[in-house]
A and B are shown apart, each in its own frame.
Chain A
Amino acid sequence: MRCAQLSPASRKAAKPVRLGRTAAGWLRHAGAMVALAVLAACSAGGPSTSVNQPTSSTSTANSYTGPAAANADVQAFKVNLWENIRVSSKCGGCHHEGGQAPMFARSDDVNLAYQAAGPLVSFTQPDQSELVLKVSGGHNCWVSDPKACGDTMLTWIKAWVGAGSSSTTGIQLQAPPSQSVGGGKQFPVNATDTGTTGASFAATIWQPILSQFCSNCHRATAQTPQQPYFAPTQAEVAANANLLQDAFVAAQSKIDLNSPDQSRFVVRLRDESHNCWVIPPGTVPDCAGSAAKMLAAIQAYAGGIAVTQVDQNLVLSKALSLKQGTIASGGNRFEGNLVAKYEFKTGTGTTAYDTSGVSPEADLTLSGAVTWAGGWGINVAAGGKAQASTAASSKIADMIKSSGEFSIEAWAAPANVAQNDAYIVSYSGSATTRNATLGQHSMQYEGYVRSDKTNTNGSPPLQTAAANMNAQAALQHIVLTFDPVNGRKLYVNGKFTGDVDKTTGGSLANWDDTFALVLGNETTGNRQFLGLIKFVAIHSRALTADQVAQNFAAGVGERYFVLFDVSGLSGVPQSYIMFTGSVYDSYAYLFTNPTFVSLDPNAVPASIPIKGMRIGVNGVLSLPGQSYSTINTTLGGSTYSAQNGQLLSSVGAVVASDKGVDTDLFFLSFDQFGSKSHVFTDPSAVVVTPTTTTNPTSADLGVKTFGEINATMSVITGVSMTNAAVNTAYMSLQQSLPPASDLSAFVASQQTAIAQLAVAYCTALVDTAASRDALFGTGLDASINATASSFFGVSPNYATNRTDTTGVNTAHRGIVITALVNAAGSTANPNTAAAITTELNGLMNDLPSITGQGSITVSAVTKASCEAVLGSAATTLK
């Protein structure tokens, strides 16, 4: 914060005017509308940047020996903010006594520092405090990511003003700039892409200007690197072309394609004299000339980019980007006992900053397959982890050993619910030694904590009940708490899971302060968590159930109130459809709570029909995820109020991102709004004509299925399916029989099962006189136990002539063969009947001729004949 130029005028311009607690309440303060306009004018051209001035330590944070704090609030200021910022490495380097005004970091008198800090802090909206805005804008941030400084400053301020302050936060709605849909130009994909003028970012802006005049600071390898890194040198780009593309992305928020003269690049040079360069060489810096050159380059570039066209027949709102909305302060989190906090806002590089404000900062180094996620967060893939140094991590052990209790809080989205031993947050030395771990075990969450009741690995773990399936592949708020009495508790999405720690509490005195904090894995790399981690906090107290619920309700991520201008459609002055919008993940936005509002408190919509609302991006209506296309209501009447507007839907819409949050321009389309309408055409049904063949490629025959085979055997033999022996066999064999008719699926084991069932039926048939007589008549009865060779006869020539009847008793054989052929219905096909007859005759010759089977009986041969018929294709095919 050294050398900040905080003039009273600039503070006033940057300070928002608050209208009430919620967005819905802003209409109560009509007088603030003028201020809205002022703020809107300030916001054009992208976020501001500040100059990093040379650092020189002129003050140190020795022990305070000045006057005592005058009151409790000064004491709170002293403890929570002043002690942190008065050091020379932070604001105390410049804003010390006798240094730069305002001297809010002076060390001689905390009461005077308190008075100086007062105008720089918003008690009702801490995140809009001047102190936060300055450092998060890049003003002498003490780490490389200004956002991290802003968050740390916010943590200190919140600790001072009290955790309850933001519960009374007023939300400042800002009228968005008026932009026509499709009127906005969109950046091309690549830095080297040229428009119709032949100009590209690389050739027109970066190479002649940025790489020449900005690379002393705005590149990662600069001596004093300053974000954003849009100015790598030409040598660096020659060595690594990706740097140019990174520069292109970083520069986009500083270039206004639609209004080049409002580009931050131009404004900074022209209006703020930010490091202007000399034209021509040897003269003094020429800000006007520098700005003109920059403007000409941007105009040349933008001039070649065509306007994205949109269907002009659509009924459309005005357009705006997410960040042109008003930041919606998050809910009020309880952070009274923070040890470490990670919000993952940096979005680039390999460091995730600890923004707890508790020194030393246990910043995480991202390694392996860890990538930044859109809307704040990190994606952890196989091999990835984020780990702090053991030295910085030691503060966790130190503070928690003192308190004897702690909480680990995380917002995470597991990639799947099949991963086990997937550690989300671990404070450990190896896969077998730890202080504490919050992990995922399939659909369970688990917590390990080393205490005098558990081993050095924190085992046994506390796991959520498997049946409750607490872990879902969705963004969840997970909290592991530990207190000396109850031990561990797990909370998911703000609620206690109900799982009781049977090992109870205990002492944490045996925690090892040489361990490291690691996210998404184990320090040894073999406890991989796959998924998204959006937030992690470690507290030195066990959060209460209410505090967990409070932090869950506060949510995670940055949200905006996005106001789509529909004044032209509704006829209601200053009317908007207002959404709460946020970057949902790396691939989509989330829009919720669409509400019709008017900034004019006297305006009242008079029964305006509204129907079929869709959210478009960059001039294109994408159909997936449209949640408001079914809206069919009327604006006005009792459901509209000047204070709250009119809520149109309670559900959310996930809208796919296109070019990124800095450039995606949203708009609304309506099937009907007031008197204007456009008939939306649904994608038409496509009737697919099946492909046909001339001849079927599959068999024209099928195999009888298990039930049919059973019934067929019963029909042929006359043996009831409920016969005990048969039924036992069938129940045993049922699932080995063919389940379907597809001939190509028929396998040998099914034929075997058919044969076994046939054995059961034929045994029951032949061994039961009544059944036997019913099918064969009584001709077999007297000879049933006689030898088959004598009763049926055997042809001596059968081996060479299967139809030879020499020595064959045709009449006796006919008793069996004719009955079986008729019963099988085979007479319908003479060839089948003949084939069966031939086969059975052969069988009657074969069986007695087998060595050792000369005495085979009529009963056995009859059964065999029966089984051959029942098991044959003649009866099992259809």
Chain B
Amino acid sequence: MDTLIRNIPSRVSRAALLGTVATVLFSNIGTVSAGPAEIAARMHNRIAGVPPSATVLSQMVTMVQANDLNGAALLATQNPNFYNVQLKTFVTPWTNRDQTVFAPLNDYTATVIGMVRDDLDFSTALSDDILYTVNSSGLPAPSISGNDHYATAETNGVDLSTTLKRTTQSATYGLPVAATAGLMTTRGGASAFFVAGTNRAMFRFTMMNHLCHDMEAVQDTTRPSDRIRQDVARSPGGDSRIFLNNCVGCHSGMDPMAQAFAYYNFDATSGALQYTANMVQPKYLINSDNFKQGFVTPNDAWENRWRAGPNAVLGFSGSLPGSGNGAKSLGQELAASDAFAQCQVTKVFQAVCFRAPQTQNDLNAIAATKASFKSGYNLRKVFAATAAYCSGS
């Protein structure tokens, strides 16, 4: 068609030809009723992003005919593109501040993919000493000071579904085990959210990516303000109403929890995550004259003030203390919340069903999927269950 297109005089005509082809086929699809084969193909396309092979389609059709939609969907998750494409696209926006999908593969993304592939408990994703590397020839060694290992793997088209290898951050990066906190302390996470600033970015983006709540949604001005750091101006531009009506809403809850990251910094010069045990990073003490009577961070003790008040709806676990030291225990606190499970299930719903839940049936399906997700936190099964729900009828 390249020759054809080149010879059609106007760009408009070329586009029209392509559009005609697309439109005709589109309209045909829209008018058919779904049979088992179409349901199977649709689930496969939604899970793996590619059409099924004839063999897989046949197997899935058999399962669909047996009313085993879930089984058929799980079969689709065995397609390498579920890991190489679907999950990579699903996770990549979590690993950078721009939330772009067009970012290179990194250890954050690879670790999520590996955990899904291996059916690991995803509630450990924010706290475990875990890392997935790519076991393939021709790759630079994984390094805490660079992403070449993963970027090269992507460039080489390495099949992540077969080459990801589970290891630990402590063994690969030399981090103390106590300093590891799953995805948050991967190099990808650290380079995006521990770089410069005040480390509040790590808290905010973790809330956004794993509890599906940006700070605006969790504003609560009724929390105590005693842990808000000195760098937060209490009278921005001479107007303390801004602080009392807005700033305090986020910082009163965020600052006591972001204190968990007090020993972390991503050094942009060396390109490596730094962890200074028992030594608060200078970034926690900057702009101290903005409010001298503000909180001076002495350690990495965090406290979840949102267990009370309006944000109790996030559903933090009653079996955890709600306070602790360091990122690992904070990660456990966040991942044990109902919001974490709800968030993962909702994200998968949007990725597989292409829309936010809208109907009561959608909500019921999410509730049911969340309930089963909480038993083992198997994210692959969430994809399957959701694809089954959205498979059409």
A contacts, CB < 8 Å to B = 373, 377, 379, 413-416, 472-477, 492-494, 530-532, 584-588, 590, 592, 623-630, 649-654, 656, 682-687, 690, 692-702, 704-708, 710-712, 714-716, 720-722, 727, 734-735, 739-743, 748, 751-752, 755, 758-759, 762-763, 822-829, 831-832, 834-836, 839, 847, 850, 852-853, 856, 860, 863-868, 871-878
Contacts and interface: CB of A to CB of B under 8 A. Distances in A.
A878 B49 contact: yes
Contact of B237 (A414, A710, A863): A414
A656 B23 CA distance: 61
Contacts of B44: 825
Interface string B4-42: 110110000001001101111110111110010110111
Given A473-B237, A493-B289, A712-B50, A839 B359 contact: no
A856 B244 CA distance: 74
Interface string B330-368: 000000000000000000000100110111101100000
A702 B236 CA distance: 45
B237 A532 contact: yes
A614 to B, nearest CB: 9
B359 A751 contact: no
Contact of B235 (A584, A698, A706): A584
B157 A722 contact: yes
B243 A531 contact: no
A588 B22 contact: no
A875 B44 CA distance: 12
Nearest to A493: B289
Nearest to B296: A650
Interface of B: 1-5, 7-8, 15, 18-19, 21-26, 28-32, 35, 37-38, 40-42, 44-46, 48-52, 54, 57, 61, 81, 84-86, 88-89, 101-102, 156-157, 221-222, 224-226, 233-241, 243-245, 248, 287, 289-296, 308-313, 351, 354-355, 357-360, 362-363, 390, 392
A785 B89 CA distance: 40
Contact of A755 (B18, B30, B89, B224): B18
Nearest to B60: A828
Q: Which of B19, B354, B357 is the most central at the interface, judged by chain A CB atoms within 10 Å of its CB?
A: B354
Nearest to A840: B21
A653 B225 contact: yes
B238 A682 contact: no
Given A629-B224, A656-B244, A829 B29 contact: yes
Contact of A877 (B24, B29, B48, B390): B29
Contacts of B86: 707-708
Contacts of B243: 588, 625, 654
Contacts of B226: 627-630, 649, 651, 653
B22 A871 contact: yes
B391 to A, nearest CB: 10
A377 B310 contact: no
A631 to B, nearest CB: 8
Given A763-B2, A829-B38, A863-B1, A711 B238 contact: no
Nearest to B23: A873
B37 A835 contact: no
A699 B354 contact: yes
B313 A685 contact: yes
Given A472-B287, A825-B41, 13 more contacts: A413-B237, A475-B233, A584-B234, A588-B244, A630-B224, A651-B226, A682-B222, A684-B310, A708-B89, A752-B15, A860-B4, A865-B1, A872-B25
A827 B61 CA distance: 12
A694 B360 CA distance: 7
A682 B84 CA distance: 47
B240 A829 contact: no
A585 B235 contact: yes
B22 to A, nearest CB: 5
Contacts of A531: 237-238
B225 A625 contact: yes
Contact of B89 (A687, A705, A822, A839): A705
Contact of A587 (B84, B241, B390): B241
Nearest to A838: B24
14 contacts: A477-B289, A585-B240, A685-B309, A685-B312, A698-B358, A722-B156, A741-B354, A742-B354, A759-B1, A827-B57, A831-B31, A860-B1, A876-B22, A878-B49
B210 to A, nearest CB: 20
B222 A623 contact: yes
A741 B237 contact: no
A729 to B, nearest CB: 11
A687 B81 CA distance: 39
A572 B359 CA distance: 63
Contact of B21 (A705, A762, A834, A872): A872
Contact of A651 (B85, B244, B290, B294): B294
A852 B311 CA distance: 70
Contacts of B23: 873
B312 A850 contact: no
A623 B249 CA distance: 11
Contacts of B31: 831
A626 B293 contact: no
